[in-house]
Amino acid sequence: EDQVTQSPEALRLQEGESSSLNCSYTVSGLRGLFWYRQDPGKGPEFLFTLYSAGEEKEKERLKATLTKKESFLHITAPKPEDSATYLCAVQTSGTYKYIFGTGTRLKVLA
Amino acid sequence: EAQVTQNPRYLITVTGKKLTVTCSQNMNHEYMSWYRQDPGLGLRQIYYSMNVEVTDKGDVPEGYKVSRKEKRNFPLILESPSPNQTSLYFCASSLSGLATDTQYFGPGTRLTVL
């Protein structure tokens, strides 16, 4: 069964304290792995798509990487405005469905 | 402004009273989808639609109906709501449903079934 697991569930960082969020996946074939940001009371907002192992993408303080079994979202020198829930999702080969993980709640303290 | 809109944003209803949550997008997207979000379970896909008159089940379709009569609209219908359908619902759309397309989400509808 296709599955996406995110860890940790919650993470508290001091401003400037870099860290990584993990998304491990088990799928029959990967079309794409996606990262979203969700602020309280709002819909998820797209961040990145990764397609194959070894791929990396960056946006401001965020960098997403992909291996054959997991993806990491690295946050460098985070700021309080980076506080949000970060969601990982996959789309598997032969389908147009999306499977989401349960997310990581990130709190960055000033 | 390119957006996905949902109505209503908040709804409290009683068991068994049919309801419809509307979803509309102004980006000429082919692919539209409904999700529910529950604490500890994350976002789960209910139904998706690749185009007008083409719909398919997601992972949690039981108790829900959808229709896609027009490209821009994708209503979610609960014919006999039950308390276990109390949840936060999101509509989303993308150009074609391919992994290369960005999926845009609406603001959410918080549904409570008493």
Segment A18-71, tens digit of pLDDT? 999 999 999 989 999 999 999 999 999 999 999 999 999 999 999 999 999 999
Residues of chain B contacting residue A1, judged by C-beta atoms under 8 Å apart: none
Could you give the angle at the alpha carbon of B47 between the alpha carbons of B8 and A32, nearest 5°?
Answer: 115
The pLDDT score that the predictor gives to residue A36 is 98
Whether A49 has its CB under 8 Å from any CB of chain B: the answer is yes
Cis-peptide, bond into residue A8, ω within 30° of zero: yes
The pLDDT score that the predictor gives to residue A96 is 93
Could you give the angle at the alpha carbon of B43 between the alpha carbons of B40 and B47, nearest 5°?
Answer: 140
- B85: DSSP letter: G
Residues of chain A contacting residue B107, judged by C-beta atoms under 8 Å apart: 42-43
- CB distance A46–B99 less than 8 Å? no
Whether A68 has its CB under 8 Å from any CB of chain B: the answer is no
- CB distance A97–B59 less than 8 Å? yes
A24 and A70 Cβ atoms separated by less than 8 Å: yes
Percentage of chain B surpassing pLDDT 70? Answer: 100
Dihedral sign computed on CA atoms, order B75, B76, B80, B83: negative
Residues of chain B contacting residue A46, judged by C-beta atoms under 8 Å apart: 102-104
The pLDDT score that the predictor gives to residue B107 is 97
The pLDDT score that the predictor gives to residue B30 is 97
Mean pLDDT of chain A, nearest integer: 96
Structure confidence by residue, pLDDT tens digits, B16-45: 999 999 999 999 999 999 999 999 999 999
Could you give the angle at the alpha carbon of B88 between the alpha carbons of B52 and A88, nearest 5°?
Answer: 80
The pLDDT score that the predictor gives to residue A4 is 97
Q: How far, CA to CA in Å, does A96 sit from each of A18, A19, B68, B74, B90?
A: 34, 32, 16, 17, 17
Residues of chain A contacting residue B42, judged by C-beta atoms under 8 Å apart: 87, 100-103
The pLDDT score that the predictor gives to residue B2 is 86
The pLDDT score that the predictor gives to residue A81 is 97
Three-state SS at A49: strand
The pLDDT of B55-63, averaged and rounded, is 96
pLDDT band at A1 (very low <50, low <70, confident <90, very high): confident
- CB distance A87–B43 less than 8 Å? yes
Residues of chain A contacting residue B40, judged by C-beta atoms under 8 Å apart: 102
Helices (H) and strands (E) in chain A, counts: 0, 11
Q: How far, CA to CA in Å, does A36 sit from each of A31, A70, B11, B15, B105?
A: 16, 16, 26, 33, 10
Percentage of chain A surpassing pLDDT 70? Answer: 100
| B6/B92 Cα distance (integer angstroms) | 10
Measure in Å the smallest separation between the Cα of B18 and chain A Cα atoms: 25
- CB distance B97–A51 less than 8 Å? no
Measure in Å the smallest separation between the Cα of A43 and chain B Cα atoms: 5
Residue whose C-alpha is closest to residue A37's, from A48, A29, A27 = A48
Mean pLDDT of chain B, nearest integer: 96
Measure in Å the smallest separation between the Cα of B38 and chain A Cα atoms: 9
Beta bridge pairs of residue B42: B38
- A42 contacts: CB under 8 Å, gap ≥ 6: B107, B108
The pLDDT score that the predictor gives to residue B41 is 93
Three-state SS at A5: strand
The pLDDT score that the predictor gives to residue B1 is 84
Three-state SS at A45: strand
| B103/B2 Cα distance (integer angstroms) | 12
| B19/B77 Cα distance (integer angstroms) | 6
- CB distance A100–B31 less than 8 Å? no
pLDDT band at A94 (very low <50, low <70, confident <90, very high): confident
